[in-house]
Amino acid sequence: MRICAPSLSSRLHMPAYAHLRNTFGLTEEIEQHRQLRLQAGDHDILLCRGTDVPQIVALEVADVGLTGYDVAVEWALANNRELDIRDLGPSRASFVCFVAVPGRQVGRIYSEYPAITTRWLTESRQYDQLPIVPMHGSSEAVIAADPLGGGVLLVTSGDTLRANGLSDVFPLLSTDLCLVSLPGRMPERWGGQPTAELPSLPVSAKPPIGR
């Protein structure tokens, strides 16, 4: 089986690598950023950016992938494609949140999740007409400096938000490490466990009721 997983530069590398080590007895250590292919018994492991994992699975270059649930949902919504997404249990929980300066009337949303944000806005009674500015991470300072700015960002500890005068208004999606494949292509077993026993996760991004 060929598996793609986040490389050293990805935020989910450590939990993904720990999961592979515990699941398949992976013993090879990654010594440098250029080492992007590993072996675990009969399994071929490709390391890449976590955000590229769903695309690599969709192209059938890899059979399955490890990435964040937020990444899988964003890719599926953006490409109008189905993915089989399975919960692997708690690892490094974070939240995709709507954030803003407290008390600000938001007039546009900066987001590293434009597809999730679009889905949320189509179902929101309060923010449905706001324009979206696509970003690629680390946009807290821009959001704080723009008097109309709000954001949809990944929040783990909240320290960066607070350091830049922002607060998480409400969560849109909880996220953790997950297993992804094309529908009908999930292997029968993952490690020693039948994959049918792994909870299936939906592709959705809905705001809390009343938002």
Rounded Cα gap, residues 47 and 38, in angstroms: 8
Residue 189's CB is within 10 A of a number of other CB atoms, namely: 12
Q: Which helix (H) or strand (E) holds 142?
A: helix 140-145
Sketch out the chain's domains with CATH numbers: 2-92+176-197 (3.40.190.10), 94-174 (3.40.190.10)
Q: Is the pTM of this model over 0.85?
A: yes
* Residues shown for the chain: 211
Query: What pLDDT digit, counting tens, does each position of 136-191 carry?
Result: 878 999 999 999 999 999 998 889 999 999 998 889 999 999 999 999 999 999 98
* Centroid of chain to Cα 157: 16
State the chain's mean pLDDT as an integer.
88
168 vs 79, more confident: 79
User: What does the pLDDT read at residue 30?
Assistant: 59
Query: What pLDDT digit, counting tens, does each position of 32-53 carry?
Result: 556 788 887 788 999 999 999 9
Query: What pLDDT digit, counting tens, does each position of 89-106 carry?
Result: 888 789 999 999 999 999
Rounded Cα gap, residues 125 and 40, in angstroms: 49
User: What does the pLDDT read at residue 13?
Assistant: 87
Tokens of 65: 């992938």
